[in-house]
C-alpha cells in the first residue's frame, strides 16, 4: 500500500495500516489539518466546497471529508460528482475559503486523493501546503463543540461550469454548430461522462458517439490518456465514424485529441493547438512547465509573442502565468489553463476552444496537426541507491554541459540546439526522472541516453 504526502494534498491506495495506505484515520487527519490552515488564514470564512470524481472509493472518502469539515465547524457545499475544474469554479462561485477535490486524477482505481484548493479555486502554494503537512504531523487541530458544528448543502455546479465556458469570447458556438461535427468521446467511466456530453450539446454538437460514459468508477482501461490505453476510440475513428475524438482522465483536467483517421494528435499538442487559436485572436504571453514541448514556444514566437516557462506543477505554472500576464498556458500532459475562464486545467474549456479553432480553419484534425512543429518526447528514469547525493550529481552535470543553456530551477534542464533533456529528482523515490525532446524519437532517445550515461558515470554506476 502507498501514501504520498505533498504540498498539493495527500494521495494513496485505499486501505492498509495508518500512515501507509489512504485510510479513514489519515483522511480525517489531513482534512482537519487543511481546515485548520484555512481557518488560520481566513478566520471569518466558514465555507468549503467538496467535489469528487467517480472512482469506487469516492462515496466513502466523501463521507469522511465532509463529516470532518462539519466537525471542524465548516459549512460544506458538496457538489457531488464533479470535474476538478468544476470544483475550482465552485469555490469562486460560493466565495468559499477553499475546496477539496477527491480524485487521484489518472491513477488506477485503487488510488484516491485529497487535492487542496485556496479561496481562489487554485491549488495551495508551497508555503500553504507545507503548513497543512506540519499541522497534520502534530495533529494541531481542535474540533468544534456541538453548538458550532457546520452544515452540508448539496448543489450541482455543472450548469454553472457550462455557462462559464459558453460565455468565453473566443468560444464560437455558431461556428461549431454550423460545422456539424461528429465527435467521439472516451470518458473512462468517470465524471467526464456527465460533463463532456453536456458541454458538447451546449456547443451545438448534435452527433456524439459516447464510449465509457457511465460514471460508476469501473475504468475500462488504464485511465491515463495515452495512446496505448485508447485503442477502442482510435479503432472507431479509423473506421471513419467521427471528425475528432476527445479523451479525458477521471477528473477531466487533462484532454487528448484523436484525429479523424484514428491517429494520435499528441497530448503535448492539445495546449499548442489551443494556444495557436487564442494567440491568433488575442496576442499575448504564454507559459508552460519545463517538461512540456518546445512547440508552444515555437508557436508563440510565430505569433510574435513571448513564451516563459515554470517549474513542474500546476501551481507553479499558474503563478508564472499571473506574473507575465499570460493569455494562455498549461502543461504538456493535455492541461489547458485559460485565465479568461479560471486558473486551472480544464478539458471543457480546451474542447470548446479547439472546436472553435477547427470550425474556423475548416480542415481535418490531421491536417491541422501538420501545421505545428513536430517533436517527440522520450520519458526515462535512472534508479539510484539511497545513499547517493543526487543534488551533487546534478551540480556535476551542470558543469559537464555548461557550454549549453542550462536551467536549474527544477532539477537540471539542458537546452541543446535541436532539443533538450530535463532531469528531476523524485520526491518519493531514489530516482531521477529523465525527459528529453527532439524532432524525432530516435534523437530524443539519443539525447536522453547520452545524459543518462554521464549520470551513471558520475554516480559510479556505469
Look up residue 415 and give its three cell numbers: 537546452
Q: Give the residues across from 10 on adjacent strands.
A: 5, 114
Active-site residue 309, yes or no?
A: no
> 126: how many CB neighbours lie within 10 A of its CB?
14
Question: What letter would DSSP give residue 107?
Answer: S
Residues 6+ apart with CB under 8 A from 106: 223, 224, 225, 249, 250, 254
CA distance 296 to 185: 25
Q: Which is catalytic among the residues 105, 293, 341, 356?
A: 105
SS3 338: coil
CA distance 76 to 69: 7
> 180: how many CB neighbours lie within 10 A of its CB?
12
Number of residues that this document lists for the chain = 462
CA distance 86 to 104: 16
Burial of residue 325 (CB within 10 Å: 0-12, 13-18, 19+) is exposed
CA distance 430 to 85: 33
Residues 6+ apart with CB under 8 A from 363: none
- C-alpha distances (whole Å) from 10 to each of 3, 22, 60, 322 are 7, 8, 16, 26
CA distance 287 to 166: 24
CA distance 63 to 28: 10
CA distance 280 to 284: 10
Active-site residue set: 105
Amino acid at each position: 500500500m502507498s501514501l504520498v504526502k505533498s504540498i498539493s494534498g495527500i494521495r494513496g491506495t485505499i486501505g492498509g495500516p495508518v500512515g501507509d495506505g489512504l485510510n479513514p484515520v489519515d483522511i480525517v487527519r489531513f482534512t482537519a489539518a487543511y481546515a485548520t490552515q484555512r481557518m488560520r488564514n481566513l478566520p471569518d470564512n466558514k465555507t468549503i466546497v467538496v467535489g469528487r470524481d467517480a472512482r469506487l472509493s469516492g462515496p466513502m472518502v466523501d463521507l469522511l471529508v465532509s463529516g470532518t469539515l462539519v466537525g471542524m465547524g465548516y459549512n460544506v457545499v458538496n457538489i457531488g460528482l464533479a470535474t476538478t475544474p468544476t470544483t475550482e469554479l465552485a469555490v469562486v462561485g460560493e466565495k468559499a475559503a477553499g475546496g477539496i477535490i477527491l480524485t487521484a486524477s489518472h491513477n488506477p482505481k485503487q488510488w484516491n486523493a485529497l487535492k487542496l484548493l485556496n479561496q481562489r479555486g487554485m491549488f495551495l502554494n508551497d508555503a500553504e501546503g507545507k503548513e497543512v503537512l506540519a499541522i497534520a504531523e502534530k495533529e494541531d487541530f481542535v474540533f468544534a463543540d456541538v453548538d458550532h458544528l457546520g452544515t452540508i448543502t448539496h448543489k450541482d455546479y455543472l450548469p454553472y461550469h457550462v455557462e462559464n465556458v459558453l460565455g468565453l469570447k473566443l468560444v464560437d458556438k455558431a461556428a461549431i454548430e454550423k460545422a456539424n461535427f461528429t465527435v467521439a468521446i472516451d470518458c473512462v467511466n468517470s465524471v467526464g461522462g456527465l460533463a463532456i456530453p453536456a458541454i458538447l450539446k451546449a456547443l451545438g454538437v448534435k452527433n456524439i458517439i459516447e464510449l465509457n460514459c457511465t460514471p460508476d468508477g469501473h475504468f475500462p482501461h488504464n485511465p491515463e490518456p495515452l495512446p496505448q490505453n485508447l485503442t477502442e476510440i482510435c479503432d472507431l475513428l479509423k473506421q471513419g465514424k467521427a471528425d475528432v475524438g476527445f479523451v479525458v482522465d477521471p477528473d477531466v483536467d487533462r484532454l487528448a485529441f484523436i484525429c479523424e483517421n484514428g491517429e494520435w494528435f499528441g497530448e503535448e499538442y492539445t495546449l499548442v493547438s489551443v494556444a495557436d487559436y487564442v494567440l491568433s485572436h488575442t496576442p499575448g504571453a504564454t507559459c508552460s512547465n519545463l517538461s512540456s514541448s518546445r512547440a508552444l514556444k515555437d508557436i508563440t514566437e510565430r505569433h510574435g509573442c513571448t513564451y516563459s516557462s515554470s517549474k513542474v506543477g500546476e501551481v507553479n505554472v499558474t503563478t508564472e502565468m499571473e506574473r507575465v500576464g499570460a493569455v494562455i498556458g498549461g502543461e504538456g500532459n493535455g492541461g489547458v489553463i485559460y485565465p479568461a475562464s479560471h486558473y486551472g486545467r480544464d478539458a471543457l474549456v480546451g474542447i470548446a476552444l479547439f472546436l472553435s479553432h477547427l470550425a474556423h480553419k475548416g480542415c481535418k484534425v490531421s491536417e491541422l496537426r501538420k501545421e505545428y512543429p513536430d517533436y517527440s518526447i522520450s520519458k526515462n528514469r535512472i534508479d539510484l541507491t539511497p545513499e547517493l547525493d543526487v543534488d551533487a550529481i546534478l551540480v556535476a552535470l551542470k558543469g559537464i554541459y555548461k557550454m549549453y543553456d542550462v536551467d536549474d530551477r527544477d532539477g537540471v534542464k539542458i537546452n541543446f540546439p535541436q532539443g533538450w533533456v530535463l532531469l528531476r529528482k523524485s520526491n518519493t523515490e531514489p530516482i531521477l526522472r529523465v525527459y528529453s525532446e527532439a524532432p524525432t524519437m530516435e534523437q530524443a532517445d539519443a539525447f536522453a541516453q547520452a545524459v543518462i550515461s554521464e549520470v551513471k558515470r558520475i554516480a559510479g554506476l556505469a
